[in-house]
DNA sequence: GCGCCGCTTTGATGCGGATCAATTACTTCT
DNA sequence: AGAAGTAATTGATCCGCATCAAAGCGGCGC
């Protein structure tokens, strides 16, 4: 038992994972209580981010991974020619920073789209504990694998040559991710601007705006600024498949 | 190297990693001799694939990862609506099958574009040995991270709205990957058809064919069927940046 | 309140890449 | 060598999305 200010605070700090809503989606999933506490102790800190705050910059040295506890972030990379590409929108339970491992430097910039909080996992610690706790190793891999799968979905979406399919696919997949978090799959609150979304989809913002209009005319969704209500999930999925 | 059934060859079979050209790019990188042998023992088999052979199908249960020893493969996914998307072209030293971990089923199909050979890594073994050999764990993560980085490059490429930028970026990045394998960065032999390449780039094959022509007219490359010679690397990179 | 600023929508136009179609080049088999 | 089949090139046309431009809508400070 390490010594700190008050025993009361200690318990609060140390048992956050056990009480976190995301424990079944996040690293502790499937672990027993003792191992959850070891994960808890590994978490260096839980940082709050305001809208626009940057968690890490492309090019900065890699030290830790992050798991999103609440809020939403985007990741984006800038090419040498200055072209920007939004790589992903990330929700609670997702892991960030993994692409930095190969080069020891972050390959993209992670920025908060909403007030958010993230759990910082120093990589050296994570490696050490993963070796000791097989279940953690496995769950960690699962999170990374899910991330790879999301990237593949992104590519598949950008491969569609009908722009409306891309938007429909995006809304459908966002809906599924929301549902995974226990939120309503019909009522979406987009945390990103039209511009970010357009870039993510490989379109321009005017096109995205028009397509929201068209999907609304088709009776598939209801749009009011960044509030989207999905009226016809099956229809949306159909549009997604060209 | 032909493999027969005599005990004499056993040593040869068991020390393949130590003598493999890829040992510095692949899992054994950075390991000492004893640990390399442990990796070696983990490799269930080294399978040869003919052009068109499928290593695994989307939907099939996940049992093992694969590292490419020689040749080239493509991975592709088919949406529920039947739309096909080529997700990647994979060269020696790259790891395949990781996207299956989250769901325990392969999310895409891996098919040989050339006569190839792959090393099969049963995942349960890999997990076990990773726990015991920290250096292996780290190198494994590095390979996966590189894969994630490649996916991000793919997205960035598809985000370009000038089709010629996409092709230029593809050629440039393929050149770099060839160089990493110790091959000439100027002389490329494409192992994929125009159709596969077009799909990968989010274009149609006619467009790709025309763009090869245009890059050739611009004096940046020389095209003869699937043999591409890069004449002006800097110019190619410039076209890649819109 | 009013004005300012960023975000979003809506409109008009032009171009780039998809599509349809035909020809050519290469490979394989007999 | 010739035939047949596949892959790649080249051509003509059309449509969808990018581009340029302007107006509407909210949020926020003065």
DSSP conformational letter for B67? E
> What confidence score (pLDDT) does residue B12 get?
55
Answer whether A152 touches B (CB < 8 Å). yes
Q: Report how far Cα A182 is from the mean position of its chain's Cα atoms.
A: 15
3-state secondary structure B177-227: HHHHCCCCCCEEECCCCHHHHHHHHCCCHHHHHHHHHHHHHCCCEEEECCE
- Residue A79: CB atoms within 10 Å: 19
Name A64's Cβ contacts closer than 8 Å, sequence gap at least 6. A44, A97, A120, A121, A122, A123
- Look at residue A112 and tell me whether its pLDDT is greater than 90: yes
pLDDT tier for residue B10 given thresholds of 50, 70 and 90: low
In which band, very low, low, confident or very high, does the pLDDT at B3 lie, cut at 50, 70 and 90? very low
Nearest CA in chain A to B129: A131
Give per-residue pLDDT as tens, B147-187.
999 999 999 999 999 999 999 999 999 999 999 999 999 99
pTM confidence score: 0.93
Q: Which of B130, B136, B123 shows the shortest CA–CA distance to B96?
A: B123
What percentage of chain B exceeds 70 in pLDDT? 94
CA pair distance A128, B240, nearest whole angstrom: 41
Among residues 210-239 of chain B, which lie with CB inside 8 Å of chain A?
237-238
- Give me the mean pLDDT over the B79-105 stretch: 95
Which strands make up the sheet holding B45-49, listed edge to edge?
B45-49, B116-122, B64-70, B95-96
Distance from C-alpha of B170 to C-alpha of B221, rounded to nearest angstrom? 13
Distances (CA, A) of A122 to A94, A126, A153, B30, B41: 16, 6, 29, 22, 32
Spatial distance between the Cα atoms of A55 and B22, rounded to a whole number of angstroms: 36
If you count them, how many residues does chain B have? 242
Count of Cβ atoms closer than 10 Å to residue A64 Cβ:
21
Percent of the residues in chain B that have a pLDDT greater than 90, as a whole number? 79
Instruction: Report whether pLDDT(B4) > 90.
Output: no
Per-residue pLDDT averaged across B212-234, rounded? 96
pLDDT digits (tens, 9 = 90+) for B202-220: 999 999 999 999 999 999 9
Judged by CB atoms closer than 8 Å, whether chains meet at B154 and A155 is answered as yes
pLDDT for B1: 46
What nucleotide is nearest A210 when CA is compared to C1'?
C9
B173-CA/C25-C1' distance, Å:
28
Span A26-78, pLDDT tens digits:
999 988 888 898 898 888 788 899 999 999 999 999 999 999 999 999 999 99
In 3D, which of B200, B213, B175, B195 has the Cα closest to residue B76? B200
Average pLDDT along chain B: 92
Average pLDDT over residues B39-62: 93
B161 touches chain A (CB under 8 A): yes
Q: Is B81 an 8 Å CB contact of chain A?
A: yes
């Amino acid at each position: 038992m390490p010594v700190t200010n008050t025993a009361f605070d200690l318990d609060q700090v140390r048992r956050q994972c056990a009480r976190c809503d995301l424990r079944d989606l996040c690293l502790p999933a499937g672990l027993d209580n003792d191992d959850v506490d070891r994960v808890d102790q590994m978490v260096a800190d839980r940082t709050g981010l305001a809208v626009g705050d940057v968690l890490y910059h492309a090019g900065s040295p890699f030290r830790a991974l992050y798991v999103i506890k609440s809020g939403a972030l985007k990741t984006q990379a800038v090419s040498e020619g200055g072209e920007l590409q939004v790589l992903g929108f990330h929700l609670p339970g997702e892991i960030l920073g993994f692409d930095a491992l190969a080069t020891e430097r972050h390959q993209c910039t992670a920025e908060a789209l909403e007030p958010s909080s993230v759990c910082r996992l120093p990589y050296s610690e994570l490696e050490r504990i993963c070796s000791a706790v097989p279940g953690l190793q496995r769950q960690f891999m699962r999170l990374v694998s899910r991330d790879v799968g999301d990237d593949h979905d992104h590519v598949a979406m950008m491969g569609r040559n009908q722009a409306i399919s891309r938007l429909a696919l995006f809304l459908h997949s966002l809906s599924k991710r929301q549902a995974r978090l226990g939120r309503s799959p019909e009522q979406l609150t987009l945390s990103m601007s039209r511009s970010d979304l357009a870039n993510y989809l490989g379109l321009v913002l005017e096109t995205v705006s028009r397509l929201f209009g068209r999907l609304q005319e088709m009776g598939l969704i209801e749009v009011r600024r960044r509030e989207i209500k999905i009226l016809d999930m099956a229809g949306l999925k159909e549009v997604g498949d060209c």
